[in-house]
Amino acid sequence: MEPILLYDTTLRDGTQGENINFTSEEKVKITQRLDDFGIHYIEGGWPGSNPRDKKFFELAKQIKLKNARLTAFGSTRRPGILSSEDPNLAALLESETPAVALFGKTWDLHVEKVMENTLEENLAMIRDSVAYMKENGREVIYDAEHFFDGYKENRDYAVRTLLAAMEGGVDIVVLCDTNGGTLPFELEAIIQELDLPVKFGIHTHNDSGMAVANSVTAVNAGAVMVQGTINGYGERCGNADLITIIPILCTKMDCPCVSEEHLKKLRKLSRFVSETANMIPVNSRPFVGRSAFAHKGGIHVSAIIKESRAYEHIAPERVGNSRRVLVSDLSGKSNVEYKAKEMGVDLGNGFDSRKIVEKIKLLEAEGYQFDAADGSFKIMLEKLTKQFKPFFDLESFRVTIEKDKNQSCSSHATIKISVGGKQEITAAEGDGPVSALDNALRKALGNFFPQIDGMHLVDFKVRVIDGRDGTAAKVRVLIETRDQDHIWSTIGVSEDIIEASWQALADSFQYKLGFQSDPSNGNPLTKMFMQSSAC
């Protein structure tokens, strides 16, 4: 099979998604990461439509790409003018990219009712624009917008638009399912009927949840280029997700699009783009999500210990991910033993792992959720096996909240702890009671453990466990904390939200200090745990 060309449009089509925005400088950084990964074409934006994209292409002239061809995007010429007079086409040439992507209308509905143009003039616009770009030395990729909808309603005209692009000298024709409503069996039948005499690619949207399936189907039917975005970002329901398509091509279809070494960077690429976009990573995202190789059921864990293929369709390491074993009331002794080994907790002191499972089930019945709190689970394991050595003990704390009609709430916390028998009393303010407690604890511990300066809270969640008791109901508090290298989660449960918050907060500090000082943190199993937690 011919090598598949990967065409990334995150920087253009991806930014049309809700809440997705990149500065010109961020676009440059993403471009460099995409190039390093091995993407073949990077669509940087539409230089004729906005100043930000125009600035990006100016900045991009200063960087040298190793693998990718930078591509500028734009429309065919306007009706009734020469291509050489069209400002959009002029902006494409000024971007000085080796490739350009032109989109044109394929569906007669758009030509006549939306553009209020004639069918013949639309064909001339496609032909002239492609030819003009070719005359100026550009590789031309023609995006046949709404192709599949157009083909279903007026087959002859949809085909004529493709022929117009070919007459202009197009290099690759891309068939677009712009509305995302085509199903894989329809798409395959249409491609087979076409029997195109030119290289073609596929561009799909996910409005029917079929973007990845349609892209893979098109490749199987002969497409040599796949367009999509990182993490499937895009307008409405998004574009085809390259993060899913790439490993499918590489591991399941024997289609060489990136090397095995580059494939291992897939998860990091996904996370980099989501962080740059300020979007929360989707845990259930195939291949790279935090839950993609997570195992919770005891039978599953018992099986993967013996043979990972029993419940994993590929080795997670191939895409830069790692296996995670979760512990909950659904767990068996296999989960506990696997997790203890992973964390470097020795169960060989006579403590029965079955008793640990029973204890977990009792605690989860009370509201704990250990599959979401690895940090607290490790501490609980150490306590149950009498291996826990606290770095500090709470003597008492007091939190006050003050509010008057002229100012917003202010919170103050006073805390008394003992460290190695030495008492420490501190007070601090904060933006809310938990923030005040956090600040007071940091202040108290800072004199003994300077390494806590590098840790900070990144997420705080409160869940009422059973609302039937009203304000007296138990609450579950989950805290996520990170330092320069790792992320970990801890949990607290109580009828009092402040006490539950304290439990989770204290566990977070105990876990950090325990990992920093534990000689087993050089253990590869412990490192594996930290990698799986750093999501």
pLDDT tens digits, 304-318 = 778 888 888 999 999
Q: What is the C-alpha separation between 521 and 513, in angstroms, rounded?
A: 11
Q: CA 67, 19, 293: angle at the middle one, nearest 5?
A: 65
pLDDT score, position 278: 86
Q: Are residues 329 and 197 in the same domain?
A: no
Beta strand 5-8 with 225-228: parallel, antiparallel or unpaired? parallel
pTM over 0.85: no
Q: What is the C-alpha separation between 200 and 218, in angstroms, rounded?
A: 10
pLDDT score, position 393: 93
In a domain, 496, yes or no: no
pLDDT score, position 38: 97
Q: Are residues 147 and 205 in the same domain?
A: yes
Give the chain's end-to-end CA distance (angstroms, integer): 36
Q: Are residues 68 and 184 in the same domain?
A: yes
CB-CB contact of 479 with 502 (8 Å)? no
pLDDT digits (tens, 9 = 90+) for 234-248: 999 999 999 999 999
Residue with tokens 């279809």: 253
In a domain, 138, yes or no: yes
Buried b (16+ CB within 10 A) or exposed e, 416-447: bbebeeeebebebebeebbbbbbbbbbebbee
Number of Cβ within a 10 Å radius of residue 264: 15
Q: What is the C-alpha separation between 123 and 150, in angstroms, rounded?
A: 14
Q: Are residues 163 and 302 in the same domain?
A: no
pLDDT score, position 317: 94
In a domain, 493, yes or no: no
Question: What's the domain range around 354?
Answer: 294-384
Q: Are residues 414 and 305 in the same domain?
A: no
Q: Are residues 424 and 380 in the same domain?
A: no
Number of Cβ within a 10 Å radius of residue 91: 18
Q: Are residues 378 and 401 in the same domain?
A: no
Show which of 405, 432, 448 is a domain's final residue.
448
Show which of 407, 424, 448 is a domain's final residue.
448
CATH, residue 65: 3.20.20.70
In a domain, 505, yes or no: no
State which H helix or E strand residue 172 sits in.
strand 172-177
pLDDT score, position 338: 75
- Those residues of the chain that have pLDDT short of 50 are 519-535
Q: Are residues 374 and 442 in the same domain?
A: no
pLDDT score, position 349: 57
**What's the half-sphere exposure (Cβ side, CA atoms, 13 Å) at 413?**
25
pLDDT score, position 214: 98
pLDDT score, position 118: 97
DSSP string, 86-125: -HHHHHHHHTT-SEEEEEEE--HHIIIIIS---HHHHHHH
Q: Are residues 219 and 367 in the same domain?
A: no
Q: What is the C-alpha separation between 153 and 106, in angstroms, rounded?
A: 11
CB-CB contact of 206 with 227 (8 Å)? no
Q: Are residues 220 and 241 in the same domain?
A: yes
In a domain, 114, yes or no: yes
Show which of 384, 408, 425 is a domain's final residue.
384
For 459-503, the three-class secondary structure string (H helix, E strand, C coil) is EEEEEECCHHHHHHCCEEEEEEEECCCCEEEEEEEECCHHHHHHH
pLDDT score, position 86: 97
At 334, the amino acid letter reads S
In a domain, 156, yes or no: yes
Q: Are residues 163 and 251 in the same domain?
A: yes
Q: What is the C-alpha separation between 477 and 6, in angstroms, rounded?
A: 43
Per the structure, the count of domains in the chain is 3
pLDDT score, position 408: 82
Q: Are residues 340 and 360 in the same domain?
A: yes
In a domain, 453, yes or no: no
In a domain, 522, yes or no: no
